[in-house]
Amino acid sequence: MQSLQEKASVLSGVDQADASAINDSNLFEKLGLQSFINLSTNFYTRVYDDEEEWFRAIFSSSKKEDAIQNQYEFFVQRMGGPPLYSQRKGHPALIGRHRPFPVTHEAAERWLQHMQHALDDSLDIDQDSKLKMMNFFRHTAFFLVAGNDLKNQNQNQDKHVGCVACKHGAKKPAEE
């Protein structure tokens, strides 16, 4: 069976090697803490001001300041800095933590669009780092989409268990 990482590569068009290029050099040392704070602040300002209500609604259970902190602390630790996120919240477990949210293909593309614009505004981040970060973001976004698809498949299977109207709930093929 295809792993979620493999599905993420297919869906995103970013292969594993490009997604992992953020590990080639220490981006935290290169860019510094403030660049990450600025990036996440810019990104979430765009998200919370989004004209699309369906997209804003995905984030409505979180306070903007908390979302900014969660995100930049995760980025810092993932890109070579101190483990700020894990010290405060434990393992990132991104699939599990996104489980309550509808991370659809459409949501991923909109998330990425806001992130691209936030990176475009980031004059303190060089082009090479931007490219590496965007590949990582794109691959991770579609890793989450693949996780979301799996969640929905499992939920649909659960719904069919014991369902008399369709045959999915049948215990043995012979009973169908």
Interface contacts to ligand HEM, rule CB under 6 A: 58-59, 62, 66-67, 70-71, 74, 89, 92, 94, 97-98, 101, 103, 107-108, 111, 137, 140-141, 144
Residue nearest to ligand HEM (CB): 62
Q: In whole angstroms, how close is the CB of 32 to ligand HEM at the nearest point?
A: 19
Q: In angstroms, rounded to a whole number, what is the distance separating the alpha carbons of residues 23 and 4?
A: 20
Q: How far is the CB of 156 from ligand HEM (least distance, A)?
A: 21
Between 20 and 160, name the residue whose CB sits nearer to ligand HEM: 20
At closest approach, how far in Å is the CB of 147 from ligand HEM?
10
Residue 72, both tokens: 């930049």
Closer residue to ligand HEM (CB): 30 or 89: 89
Q: What is the DSSP string of 95-137?
A: HHHTTTS---HHHHHHHHHHHHHHHHH-TTS-HHHHHHHHHHH
Return the residue matching tokens 């869906």: 11
Residue 69 CA: distances (Å) to CA of 62, 63, 113, 125:
11, 10, 20, 19
- When the beta carbons of 99 and 159 are compared against ligand HEM, the nearer one is 99
Closest CA to 43 of 11, 69, 18: 69
**Nearer Cβ to ligand HEM (25/62):** 62
